[in-house]
Structure 1
C-alpha cells in the first residue's frame, strides 16, 4: 500500500484565476497547488492527498493524524510578525490566512505526532520560524553582498547554481557532495531555528537545506526539486527517500 502524503495548498483572493479560465466567478477565492508536487509524490511511490485551509485545523486533524507524511509547499512570503519583525521594503505579498493555518498545523504536527515532515521553499521558511528562526525579508535589500537567488529567468528545471551537501546528512545520501538547484526565492533563512542542522549551502554561504537533529524525521530545502524530476532522476530520489522514511513511520 502506498503511504499517504498530505500536501498543503496556496490561497488567493485574486478572482481573475477563475474568471479568465472560465472555471469560476467574480469575488471567488481559491486554493490551489502546482501539479509538480503531486507528480513528485506519486512518482516516488506515495499517494498524494490535498490538505485544504479550513476555518480550524481541528476540521482536518483526524485526517492529518492518519497521514504517513506531510509536505509543506512553496508560495507567498511569510508575515514577519511571526518571527518578531516589522515589514521592510522589498517584502512581497502576504497570505495571513495561510500563515495562521499552516503555522498552527505545523506546530501541532510537531508536538502531537511523529509524522515525517518535508518542507519546500516557503515550507522551509515556515519550519525555520516554527523552531525559533528568522528570515531575510528580502535578500536584495538585506543581503546585497550575496548571490542573486531570484532566478525565474531560467526554466523551472534548470540548475542555476550549485549547493554543497553536508557529509553524513540524510541529504548527502541522496545527492552526494553537491547538487545543482533551481532558484526562485527572494526570502531566505537568516537565523537558523533551534535544533535544525544546516545540510545544504550555496557558494555565498546561504543555508538552503536543513534537517532536524534527533530521531524524528524532518527535512527541508529552499529550492524546488519537484520542478526538476522530469529532466533528471536524481531529483526524484529526494522524494523517493522521503517516501521510504514515511513507509517506516
Structure 2
C-alpha cells in the first residue's frame, strides 16, 4: 500500500473518531452553545470598537452644533480642523462631517458655499442624502433642471426622495408634475406619506401657497447608533442588539 493510501486511511479514521465523540458526548445544545458563545465574544469586541467611534462622532457633532448656534464660522472651523488633522477618520466619516457642515451653510442661506461643500470630491461619496443636498442648493440658485436630475438619481435609490422632486417642481411652478410626484409617493404608503396628500390639496386650492425651497423633513433630528451586547440571563440565541439614541 502506497503512502497516499495510508494518508487517506488516517484522515478517514480521524473523521470517524471525531464523529463518534460528537455522537456520544456532544448534544445539539452543546454545539449551538459553543457556536453562539464564540459569536457573542466576536460581537462584544465589534460592539466595543463601534461604540467608541459612535461616541466620538456624537461628541464632535454636538460640539459642532453648539458652536455653530453661537457662531457658524466657528463651528465650521471646528469641523475643518478635524477633517484636516484626524488621520484616523474613514472616508465615510469625512463625508458625513462635510455634509453636516454643508447643510448648516444651506440652512443659514449660504447656498453657493453649501454647494461647494457638497461637490467637494475630496470628502464626499455619492448617497441619496448628498444628491438631495446638492439639489437643494441648485434649486435655490435657480437651476431647477440640475436639481431634478440629481433627485431622479436619489429617487431611483430611495423613493422617499420623490417628495423632494415635488418640492422643486413647485418652486419652478410646474404644479401638475409636482402633484404627480406627491401622488405616486402617497400611494406607496398612505399613512407614512400623508403629508404628500396635504401638498396635493394645497396645490388644488384656489390660491395655493407654493414652496420656495425643498422641505428636508426630519433632517434636524440627530440619531446616533450604538451596539449593545446581550445581557446575562438572556436567551442563548441572543447576541446583541442595535440601539438608537435620538437628540
TM band (smaller chain): under 0.3
Q: Which has the higher contact order (CA 8 A, sep 6+)?
A: 1
Flag the structure with larger Rg.
Answer: 2
What TM-score does the superposition give when structure 1 sets the normalisation length? 0.27
More helix by share: 2
Which structure's residues are more often strand, by fraction?
Answer: 1
TM-score (norm 2): 0.28
